[in-house]
Structure 1
């Protein structure tokens, strides 16, 4: 787990990153800027229970690719979930909170994950552990209106103009951040690689 200091504001950006691409980096850069983060942890998961594990590149390969892409020293690439022995976000967030009680965390996710967020194990627990920032992705802009998560926690949504103080809010609290979007996706990149 990356080193943090008391009072820091840290974004948690999890995923399989199979492979990581400039669209992931754009989400990270928007989160760093709009949320006023001191660090952003790029949590490379050992596996994703909702995705085909046969398509998953080895963890070491994905970690190296994330490190090569990240660039910004505030982005900390980690795969500590492997040591923790879980692929479930709810458990990971509970562990992070227990180890870092004096740090302000925000869960970061691309809007493309919002539509299926209610299929994640203990998704409501995730939403009540840390504030959530949803970053716009192509084709997913309306997800913040129609998704089950958005409807369930509509009362907890704050205006994106207040994204810089999201870390001060007690979960559940979330915002949807519009901005530049990349059309790149890991699944499209894998499909293109398989054709060549």
Structure 2
């Protein structure tokens, strides 16, 4: 299967936002717009995964459906959607990020995650190697403002934390480097949307 990536030029600052997007929703867009502005990025790539190894795949919509929904929700010239992980057979995030680093060595990538993901980041395979590959920006989520910065992964990487005021230069930093961005938070979640849709279908 040919691997098609969004266009990228040397020196560009690109945020990588991965997930199942099952389904994509305005909360994902909110996180992306926050990252574009606060991190001074040129682009955000939504990496729609074949499936998260830590989650139940029983309710996972087909990949092509999730990609199409993501493109519709993103609706922004600087937010691009890709499903390249399926093409390269990646199962874990570290595999995907290593591939991108090799494919585009002159691009300044930043990994973007919600604070809920930081809370469980220590369970990701090779979370330390992910942190060593590229800077990380954590976007605040309701319910995780206090707990996520105290999580096991955050404590393990505490000495590499960058002050929020310096977030605009995060993409240029040598990893490990990460920051936690506070601000307006979206209460939307893919899980809640699936529950709502199931409830509606029962009426």
TM-score, normalized by length of structure 2? 0.95
Question: In the aligned structure 2, how far is the partner of 1:133 from the partner of 1:145?
Answer: 12
Q: CA deviation at 1:180?
A: 0.9
Question: How far apart are the structure 2 equivalents of 1:122 and 1:149?
Answer: 11
Q: Residues 124-152 of structure 1, C-alpha deviation per residue, up to 9 Å, x if partnerless?
A: 11111100000001111113421111100
1:132-151 to structure 2, matched below 5 A, reads 132-151=136-155
Deviation at 1:179, TM superposition (A): 1.1
SS at match of 1:181: coil
Indicate if the aligned counterparts of 2:160 and 2:178 stay in contact, CA closer than 8 A: yes
Q: In the aligned structure 2, how far is the partner of 1:117 from the partner of 1:145? A: 11
Please list, as runs of the form range in 1=range in 2, the aligned pairs for 1:1-196 lying within 5 A after superposition: 1-196=5-200
| TM-score scaled by length of structure 1 | 0.98
RMSD of the alignment, in Å?
Answer: 0.8
For 1:63 and 1:179, how far apart are their aligned partners in 2? 28
2:29 and 2:62 mapped to 1: Cα distance? 20
Unmatched segments (≥5 aa) in structure 2: none
Counterparts of 1:44 and 1:22 in 2: how far apart (Å)?
15
Moved more, 140-149 or 95-104: 140-149
Contact 1:90-1:122 within 8 A present in 2 as well: yes
Shift of 1:87: 2.6
Matched residues, number: 196
Stretches of structure 1 lacking an aligned partner (at least 5 in a row): none
